[in-house]
Structure 1
Amino acid sequence: MTDARWTRRRALAVTGAGAALGGLLPAGRAGESSRPTSATDFARGVLAGFDHHRLVAIGEAHGQQEHGDALQLLLADPRLPEVVDDVVVEFGNARHQPVVDRFVAGGAVDDATLRKVWRDTTQSPAGTGDQPIREQFFRTVRAVNWTLPPQRRIRVLLGDPPIDWSKISTQAQVDALLEQRDAFAASLVEREVLAKGRRALICYGSGHVLHGSADHVVALIEQRTGSRVHVIVSGTHPRLAGHPRRTVIPCAGTWLASVDAGQFMDAPPLCGQPLGKVADAVLYLGRPSDLTRSLWNPAIFLDPVYWAELRRRNAINGNHLDLEQYRRQQPIGWSEGPPAGCG
């Protein structure tokens, strides 16, 4: 029987379409070290991953402000363009790849056209992408590239299948594309990154980037190409509280290797699996009580044209979503109650 606390928001955290990680665990056994000596700051932890891998994946905490902040700082680090050629993102419709290529290279793109990149994904209308951290991501890459010669500019690869909402009229059409999400992204990485001898940062929901996670992005890449991906997932734990925020701690050789991944990530489907089996390192962003949400401006949804399109998409999906929530102010706190845990 499914635990009632295993909410849709928690499920989305694992599948990569919604919230983030944040499960808590009891304190460890006496005598165990809770501060691995190899812990490092976020940028250094990511850069170190590229020492032995062409691909580094960050299990994203969707909609979490602190995760967005950490990503902004990483993108702005002057060392990143030395080791990263591409950033592959889940929150962008591949149909608009030419738009993003032009924008991040410094070209002129009007706001209405740019917004379609994150608004017109397969996750709409449940995930509109209207949180400020989404637009900030693309604008940060553009600003970073402005300082770089063309051959060193970072390219953003849009990993969501190229859905054309103007031609969608049934949920079956959407479902067909939803089923392709991970395979599409894996093929994109193979074609645009590995086949061209490039290196990429992969920013996807944590469920998509875990080692051995069935038919998800990282597992598919590793199965098809033999290329090992360095996986960093975000999460929290009382024993990590002594670390500075935005710290990366490796799993290998530390107590994190044996932690139950389902409890650590507050994801019951992963219960019983050691964290060290599915991830290589952890990004600590702070205690649950310190974490916040990146919230959209409710006024966005007063645009009658945009609102009508969201209502149309919701009707296609059987009107399962309460769209009015978008027009209401939401609570800023991240924690939504006790973790589901592993029973």
Structure 2
Amino acid sequence: MSLLRRFVLDLGSSRLCQRTKSLPLLVLSLFWITGCEYLPHNPDLALSDDELTALRQAAIPADEGILSRFHDHTFVGLGDYHFNEEFMSYATSLVVSDEFVSRAQTVIVEFGNAKFQPLLDSYIAGEQVSRGEMLNVLRGSVFFTAWMPDVYADFFTAVRKANLSRPAHLQIKVVLAEQAFDWQQVKDSEQWQQAASNKVDGFFATVEKVIKSQQKALLIFGAFHLLRIPEGVSKALPDNELTLASRLLRHYPGALYSVWPMAQPEIIEALQPLSGKRLIDAQQPPFSALRFIDLMPKARYRLGKIDSRNAPVSALFDAMLYVGPTQRRTLFPKAVIDERLWVDEMKRRVQLMGGPLESKFTQILAESEQFYR
């Protein structure tokens, strides 16, 4: 892909196309050829009324659809949408259900690293570990800022409560996917960058241990980790450039069934009046042929990195999870803001991260402090 085209794809917006009338003809021509036809637009479920009706009728209860996939897959992957709590709330209710433990009893999660596995094991087994101590599992993660909303700590607490009500052989095991990492030992950005760049390697190593132990497991990761790279693109890439999903499927074909969380308000409105939590098959027409970028234009940058801007949903994931109306709340909980020593430590860490991550943290922190005044 040319540098000019990549620049336009990554930085463009539909408003730029509206302004091109004032550009010289040559520049206008280059801009249209390289970018305008791909520039983002509002999400659109481009189906007729009849097709939408058929899609709604074909959607099945989410619990049934997800749990049934353990029959012929080792892993079912649920995509998390950071700061959009409805999806983690759903995952929590699924994991603590009796139906889940009858199919699988292991959950592998992105939010926490292996250094804190013994602490988490003790906590969810009901031992004398406080919720405050348990928070170190989340705070010790490489990308800890993503896991500050209460819903992630609530997940561990719900598992603990469920385990206390069940015999040992029916208790849920939670595996932390990150390799061991210690923020107290990080003194410069290079150390953090190394951990961040090796993150997916750690994920894969953790998942591979589970598959070799012949266990079935639910994966809960940021949704883009569970996005498949289309085969025509992925076969030319080395392991370290693949998503977790594509890397897993390269080494263990057929092992993973991946579920994308649908949070775009325009799409949710088009799907109503679906009742309850529903699963929509991404492999069946007419949904299968839709371009993912039309459902989620904000994904253009991620899709561009894997040369998949025009990929249909059927090439990227197996099903879409509908949980009803959702809301993205980019605020830290009040308890986090009130703990000033922890806020100072977060500031130290994000200064080492730098770039967009530091800028985003600073924005969320300022908005949170303003909100709780």
* TM range, smaller chain: 0.7 to 0.9
Which residue number in structure 1 is paired with residue 256 of structure 2? 229
How much does 1:253 deviate?
2.0
Which residue number in structure 2 is paired with residue 72 of structure 1? 92
| One-letter code aligned to 1:56 | V
How much does 1:210 deviate?
1.6
Unaligned runs of 5+ in 2: 1-7, 15-41, 231-240, 304-308
How much does 1:70 deviate?
1.2
Q: 2:315 aligns with which of 264, 277, 284?
A: 277
Q: Distance in 2 between matches of 1:220 and 1:47?
A: 23
Q: Which range moves more in the overlay, 215-224 or 294-303?
A: 294-303
| One-letter code aligned to 2:97 | D
TM-score under structure 2 normalisation? 0.76
- Structure 2 vs 1, CA of residues 171 and 70 (structure 1 numbering), >3 Å: closer, same or farther? same
- Cα RMSD after superposing both structures: 2.5
Unaligned runs of 5+ in 1: 7-22, 333-343
Which residue number in structure 2 is paired with residue 3 of structure 1? 11
Contact conserved, 1:42 with 1:70, CA < 8 A, in 2? Answer: no
Deviation by residue 1:250-302 (Cα, 9 ceiling, x = unmatched): 11223221111122233113320010111111101234xx5343743234233
Moved over 4 A (4+): none
Question: Counterparts of 1:1-343 in structure 2 under 5 Å?
Answer: 1=8, 2-3=10-11, 24-29=43-48, 31-36=50-55, 37-124=57-144, 127=145, 129-191=147-209, 193-212=210-229, 214-235=241-262, 236=264, 237=267, 238-266=269-297, 267-268=299-300, 269-270=302-303, 271-287=309-325, 290-293=326-329, 295-318=331-354, 320-321=358-359, 322-323=361-362, 325-326=364-365, 328-329=367-368
| One-letter code aligned to 2:220 | C
Q: Distance in 1 between matches of 2:151 and 2:313?
A: 28
Q: Distance in 1 between matches of 2:176 and 2:150?
A: 18
Q: Distance in 2 between matches of 1:311 and 1:38?
A: 48
Q: Distance in 2 between matches of 1:158 and 1:50?
A: 21
Q: Distance in 2 between matches of 1:66 and 1:26?
A: 21
| One-letter code aligned to 2:51 | E
Contact conserved, 1:75 with 1:140, CA < 8 A, in 2? Answer: no
Contact conserved, 1:93 with 1:161, CA < 8 A, in 2? Answer: yes
- Structure 2 vs 1, CA of residues 304 and 223 (structure 1 numbering), >3 Å: closer, same or farther? same
What's the secondary structure of 1:32's corresponding residue?
A: helix
What's the secondary structure of 2:311's corresponding residue?
A: coil
How much does 1:145 deviate?
1.3
Q: Distance in 2 between matches of 1:247 and 1:300?
A: 33
How much does 1:204 deviate?
0.7
Contact conserved, 1:35 with 1:242, CA < 8 A, in 2? Answer: no
- Structure 2 vs 1, CA of residues 317 and 212 (structure 1 numbering), >3 Å: closer, same or farther? closer
Q: Distance in 2 between matches of 1:130 and 1:194?
A: 29
What's the secondary structure of 2:368's corresponding residue?
A: coil
Q: Which has the higher contact order (CA 8 A, sep 6+)?
A: 1
TM-score under structure 1 normalisation? 0.83
| One-letter code aligned to 1:282 | M
| One-letter code aligned to 1:257 | S
Bigger Rg, which one: 2
Which residue number in structure 2 is paired with residue 15 of structure 1? none
What's the secondary structure of 2:208's corresponding residue?
A: helix
Q: Distance in 2 between matches of 1:75 and 1:216?
A: 24
Deviation by residue 1:21-67 (Cα, 9 ceiling, x = unmatched): xx721541464354334422221121111121110001111121211
How much does 1:5 deviate?
6.0
Higher helix share: 2
Q: Distance in 1 between matches of 2:228 and 2:272?
A: 26
| One-letter code aligned to 1:277 | A
- Structure 2 vs 1, CA of residues 300 and 239 (structure 1 numbering), >3 Å: closer, same or farther? closer
Contact conserved, 1:54 with 1:198, CA < 8 A, in 2? Answer: yes
Q: Distance in 2 between matches of 1:292 and 1:330?
A: 18
| One-letter code aligned to 1:110 | S
Contact conserved, 1:186 with 1:218, CA < 8 A, in 2? Answer: no
